Amino acid sequence: MNFRKIPTVLTPEEIIEKCFRRVRKVQVVDPDRLYRLRKLNAGKVQAFADTASSTLLKYVRAFPTIEALHPFYRELIDLGVDVDRLKVSLGRIQGIASTVSEIGRGKVKEIMKMRSQEEMMRAQREALGRMVSAVKRARDPLMVLSEAREFMRRLPEIDPKTPTVIIAGYPNVGKSSLTSALSTAKPEISTYPFTTKGVSVGVLEMGGRRVQVVDTPGMLDREPAERNEIERKASSALRNLPGVVLFLVDPTETCGYPIEMQLSLLQKLSEEFPQMRFFVVFTKSDMEEWTLPNVKEVKVDEERIAGWGVVSSTTREGIEELKRALSALLLDEP
x/- mask, ligand GTP, residues 98-137, rule CB under 6 A, reads ----------------------------------------
Q: Tell me how far, at minimum, the Cβ of 179 lies from Mg ion, in Å.
A: 8
Residue 11, CA atoms < 13 Å, CB-side half-sphere: 2
* 240 belongs to the binding site for ligand GTP (CB under 6 A): no
Q: Tell me how far, at minimum, the Cβ of 152 lies from ligand GTP, in Å.
A: 25
Which residue's CB is nearer to ligand GTP, number 287 or number 295?
Answer: 287
* 177 belongs to the binding site for ligand GTP (CB under 6 A): yes
Q: How far apart are CA 64 and CA 322, in angstroms?
A: 37
* 235 belongs to the binding site for ligand GTP (CB under 6 A): no
Q: Tell me how far, at minimum, the Cβ of 191 lies from ligand GTP, in Å.
A: 13
The residue ranges that bind Mg ion (CB under 5 A) are: 175-176
The interface partner of residue 283, options being ligand GTP, Mg ion, none and the CB cut-off 5 to 8 Å by kind, is ligand GTP
Find out whether 89 and 123 touch, Cβ atoms under 8 Å: no
* 183 belongs to the binding site for ligand GTP (CB under 6 A): no
Rounded alpha-carbon distances, angstroms, from residue 221 to 98, 122, 169, 249, 266: 50, 67, 5, 11, 10
Q: How far apart are CA 202 and CA 153, in angstroms?
A: 19
Which residue's CB is nearer to Mg ion, number 92 or number 175?
Answer: 175
Helix runs in the chain, H state only? 12-25, 33-62, 71-80, 83-111, 117-136, 139-153, 175-182, 229-237, 259-272, 319-331
The interface partner of residue 89, options being Mg ion, ligand GTP, none and the CB cut-off 5 to 8 Å by kind, is none
* 312 belongs to the binding site for ligand GTP (CB under 6 A): yes
- Those residues with Cβ within 8 angstroms of residue 221's Cβ, 6 or more apart along the chain or in another chain: 168, 169, 170, 171, 175
Find how far residue 231's CA is from the centre of its chain.
Answer: 16
Q: Tell me how far, at minimum, the Cβ of 219 lies from ligand GTP, in Å.
A: 10
Given 287, 295, 305, 319, the residue binding ligand GTP (CB under 6 A): 287
The residues facing 212 across adjacent strands are: 164, 203
Rounded alpha-carbon distances, angstroms, from residue 155 to 2, 66, 119, 234, 268: 9, 15, 53, 11, 26
* 284 belongs to the binding site for ligand GTP (CB under 6 A): yes
The interface partner of residue 173, options being ligand GTP, Mg ion, none and the CB cut-off 5 to 8 Å by kind, is ligand GTP
Nearest residue to 108 (alpha-carbon basis) of 91, 127, 90, 95: 127
* 172 belongs to the binding site for ligand GTP (CB under 6 A): yes
Burial (0-12, 13-18, 19+ Cβ within 10 Å), 106: middle
Given 313, 322, 326, 327, the residue binding ligand GTP (CB under 6 A): 313
Residues of the shown chain interacting with ligand GTP in the complex, contacts defined by CB under 6 A? 171-177, 217, 221, 283-284, 286-287, 312-314
